[in-house]
Copies of this chain bind each other. A is one copy, B any other.
Amino acid sequence: MRTVAGDLGDALARVLRTEQQPPLVVAGRTDAGVHARGQVVHLDVDPQAFAGLAGRSGVDPVDSLVRRLAGVLAPDVVVRRARVVPAVFDARFSATGRRYRYRLGDGPHRPDPLERRHVHWVRDRLDAEAMARSAQLLLGEHDFVAFCRPRPGSSTVRTLRLVDVQRGSDDTVRVDLEADAFCHHQVRALVGALLEVGRRRRDEGWPAQVLAARRRDGAVQVAPAHGLTLTEVVYPPDDQLGAQAERARRRREAPA
């Protein structure tokens, strides 16, 4: 099966001329079908291979890396930027936040065909204001186990900092979410719960009740993957990257 990590590893091996794919550490693993516009990945590069990127022309090796990857990667995997980071940087554990956008279409017809692969169409008109109010009750630090597919040995306590529900033009509603990190399926399950409110099948307090009950509720439908995009990963200033990585490692690996 083709994966973004597999494609990127292959491309890096070609561009860096290494025999094996370099090990990659990714900021936020995404389910199959979820898009990632703002994904971040780190890897260790042999200094000689790095110097080799510049060639004899003396261009910046990092610019050269981005250009060469563009020539090797398929059109659906794009490396936008690269930079040299402090050795303590960890793409996953140094991050202080992840931001996702879920795109919904709720018109009488399907979404714009040019956007059909990243907008989930619901046939019912959504009450975006009710969804927005309902979402506010979920903010803060909680055990989100009711919305997570738990992984053994991992905490499901997360801090949800933002859930912003906005109606856009042309029968679209977008949900922006930010947390320190999200557990598996959490964003899609949260959106699924809010959709029940938007469709007026449940009242505004229901998602918070599910959260408080701390166990999975069959009535929460995980929203389809294709509507979801990882839009941004947030990092602290360089001098706090190491300390943040330490903190996150301790917290995230605490027993559930």
Contact = CB atoms under 8 A, between A and B. Distances in A.
Interface of A: 35, 37, 63, 66-67, 69-70, 73, 75-80, 108-118, 121, 229
A245 B221 CA distance: 52
Contacts of A113: 35, 37, 75-78
Pick from A35, A108, A117 the residue with the most CB of B within 10 Å.
A108
B63 A109 contact: no
Pick from A66, A67, A110, A121 the residue with the most CB of B within 10 Å.
A110
A12 to B, nearest CB: 14
Nearest to A35: B114
Contacts of A67: 108-109
Nearest to A81: B109
Contact of A63 (B75, B108, B117): B108
Contacts of A77: 113
Nearest to A36: B113
Given A114-B118, A117-B114, A108 B66 contact: yes
B109 A78 contact: yes
A109 B70 contact: yes
A69 B76 CA distance: 31
B114 A229 contact: yes
A106 to B, nearest CB: 12
Pick from A63, A79, A80, A109 the residue with the most CB of B within 10 Å.
A109
Contacts of A110: 70, 73, 75, 78
A214 B116 CA distance: 41
A124 to B, nearest CB: 12
A228 to B, nearest CB: 12
A73 B109 CA distance: 10
A232 B84 CA distance: 46
A153 B112 CA distance: 36
A181 to B, nearest CB: 23
A236 to B, nearest CB: 25
A3 B109 CA distance: 19
A78 B109 CA distance: 7
Contacts of A112: 37, 78
Contacts of A109: 66-67, 69-70, 78-80
Contacts of A76: 113, 116
Nearest to A105: B78
